[in-house]
């Protein structure tokens, strides 16, 4: 095998490969000979089919398979000989030839760019720090109470926070567009994600009353049917129920998994859980800063082949997400180009992180992978079963291995950058609303 390489641009290469025919013809003959010993054909006993018929019936397929394998094998060998790092997939074109001694093909492909991470000592990174206090535990307990809310019927008028059972119908220009068909549905007035103007119109209505009102939706409404339209509603309030939060007592503690109902243990468990969330949040923010730092510190020309692959991957992920949410994909126009910026970021980071891992030996150790799996499993009722699930299939360890490796990269950068600690309030760190 002989190969010559041409440089078409900083990343694009064209390689012409010449492959001898003799070994290929020999392999074709060997495969056909093997087939002849087992081939079945009408009018002949197994193994007695003439070679001419075997060659006629199976020859083209066998020859294609042998040639494909020879191209793949010779391409890999030529790439290794020329010390090339191929990015993406090569475009292979066969060259016409009358030679019986060899055949040629031309492979056009891109190579990985050189990645150089310079001096990071002048890079400034802020490491957030936060502590969990009694007030944070109290707030969390209130959230947990609201998650366990029950409702009790009342005869008074509805107000925000109440659960109302309503039947309604909606019209646009006299045409019905939505209706409960007389059936009652439960709504919590003022709940996040609801249309505030709709709920405001129900405040003050008593059980059994009916109210008619109009709402004009903005042009930017996420529901095309309602965008820019005036909708007339007729709503009947069947019942009103007020929220009742559970008492913070031993029974409440038991509902959170504290078997003996010990209130102090409940608070200690909640605090420990919050501290774990703080640690995760700090790690996440640090990782974002480090990755952004690396993207800014390294100038890269990205292979178009890798960008195309990543844009298609992101588009398919978006399609899957929309389908899972029940969106009709015929109404959505998704194109790979919509994901260009995200693809550039992802590909750039993979190249930089991959180079750092390779150059500085930052691969995750088995102990680090196990620690990551243990962290995943702690949020489940039976952690041991989760750990066994991960280790039952090596491919399932790809995610924890990748995350542990990324943490090694973050630690490597932090050890070289100018890191300062910044005190952050718990709510601010966790992105909680005031």
List pLDDT tens digits, range 295-317. 998 989 999 999 999 999 999 99
Confirm whether 2-111 and 124-133+252-430 share one CATH topology: no
Q: Average pLDDT of 63-79?
A: 93
pLDDT score, position 108: 97
CATH class of 2-111: alpha beta
Using 50, 70 and 90 to split pLDDT, how confident is the model at 37? confident
> Has residue 100 got a pLDDT over 80?
no
Q: How far apart are the C-alpha atoms of 211 and 70, rounded to whole Å?
A: 78
pLDDT score, position 434: 55
pLDDT, tens digit, for every residue of 402-431? Answer: 999 999 999 999 999 999 999 999 999 988
Q: Average pLDDT of 11-39?
A: 89
pLDDT, tens digit, for every residue of 342-354? Answer: 999 999 999 999 9
Residue 103 and residue 19 in contact, taking contact as beta carbons nearer than 8 Å: yes
Domain ranges of the chain: 2-111, 124-133+252-430, 149-244
Using 50, 70 and 90 to split pLDDT, how confident is the model at 158? very high
pLDDT score, position 220: 84
- 149-244: CATH topology: Chitinase A; domain 3 (3.10.50)
Tell the burial category of 225 from Cβ atoms under 10 Å away from its Cβ (0-12, 13-18, 19+). exposed
* Residue tagged 């095998």 (tokens): 1
Instruction: Return the percentage of the chain with pLDDT > 70, whole number.
Output: 100
Q: How far apart are the C-alpha atoms of 36 and 52, rounded to whole Å?
A: 10
Residue scoring higher pLDDT (271 or 51): 271
Strand partners, 86: 111
Residue 168 and residue 146 in contact, taking contact as beta carbons nearer than 8 Å: no
Q: How far apart are the C-alpha atoms of 91 and 109, rounded to whole Å?
A: 6
Identify the three-state secondary structure at position 17: strand
Tell the burial category of 10 from Cβ atoms under 10 Å away from its Cβ (0-12, 13-18, 19+). exposed
pLDDT score, position 274: 94
Which residues are CB-contacts of 131 (< 8 A; sequence separation ≥ 6)?
A: 278, 426
Statement: 124-133+252-430 belongs to CATH 1.10.3120.10: yes
Q: Average pLDDT of 21-31?
A: 89
Using 50, 70 and 90 to split pLDDT, how confident is the model at 17? very high
Residue 143 and residue 242 in contact, taking contact as beta carbons nearer than 8 Å: no
pLDDT, tens digit, for every residue of 198-207? Answer: 999 999 999 9
> Has residue 398 got a pLDDT over 70?
yes
Residue scoring higher pLDDT (224 or 95): 95
């Amino acid at each position: 095998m002989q190969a010559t390489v041409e440089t078409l641009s900083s990343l694009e290469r064209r390689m012409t490969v010449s492959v001898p025919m003799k070994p290929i013809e020999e392999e074709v003959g060997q495969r056909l000979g093997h087939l002849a010993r087992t081939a079945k054909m009408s009018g002949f006993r197994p193994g007695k089919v003439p070679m001419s018929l075997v060659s006629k019936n199976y020859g083209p397929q066998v020859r294609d398979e042998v040639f494909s394998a020879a191209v793949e094998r010779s391409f890999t060998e030529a790439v290794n000989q020329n010390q090339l790092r191929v990015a993406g997939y090569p475009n292979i074109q066969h060259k016409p030839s009358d030679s019986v001694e060899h055949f040629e093909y031309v492979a056009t492909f891109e190579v990985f760019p050189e990645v150089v991470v310079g001096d990071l000592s002048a890079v400034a990174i802020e490491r957030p720090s936060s502590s969990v206090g009694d007030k944070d535990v109290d707030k969390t307990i209130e959230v947990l109470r609201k998650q366990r809310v029950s409702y009790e019927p009342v005869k008074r008028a509805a107000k925000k926070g109440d659960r109302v059972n309503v039947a309604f119908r909606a019209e646009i220009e006299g045409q019905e567009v939505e209706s409960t068909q007389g059936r009652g549905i439960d709504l919590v007035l003022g709940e996040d994600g609801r249309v505030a103007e709709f709920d405001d119109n129900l405040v003050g209505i008593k059980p059994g009353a009916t109210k008619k009102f109009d709402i004009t939706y903005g042009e930017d409404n996420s529901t095309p049917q309602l965008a820019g339209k005036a909708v007339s509603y007729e709503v009947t309030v069947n019942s009103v129920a007020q929220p009742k939060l559970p008492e913070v007592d031993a029974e409440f503690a038991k509902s959170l998994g504290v078997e003996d109902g010990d209130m102090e243990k409940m608070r200690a468990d909640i605090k420990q859980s919050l501290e774990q969330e703080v640690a995760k949040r700090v790690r996440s923010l640090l990782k974002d800063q480090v990755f952004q730092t690396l993207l800014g510190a390294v100038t890269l020309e990205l292979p178009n082949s890798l960008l195309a692959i990543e844009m298609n991957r992101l588009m398919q992920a978006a399609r899957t997400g929309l389908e899972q949410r029940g969106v009709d994909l015929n109404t959505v126009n998704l194109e790979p180009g919509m994901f260009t910026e995200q693809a550039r970021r992802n590909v750039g980071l993979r190249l930089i992180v991959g180079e750092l891992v390779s150059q500085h030996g930052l691969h995750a150790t088995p102990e680090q992978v196990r620690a990551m799996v243990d962290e995943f499993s702690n949020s489940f009722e039976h952690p041991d079963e989760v750990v066994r699930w991960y280790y039952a299939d090596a491919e399932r360890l790809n995610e924890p291995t990748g995350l542990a490796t990324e943490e090694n990269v973050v630690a490597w950068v932090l050890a070289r950058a100018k890191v300062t600690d910044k005190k952050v309030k718990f709510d601010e760190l966790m992105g909680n609303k005031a």
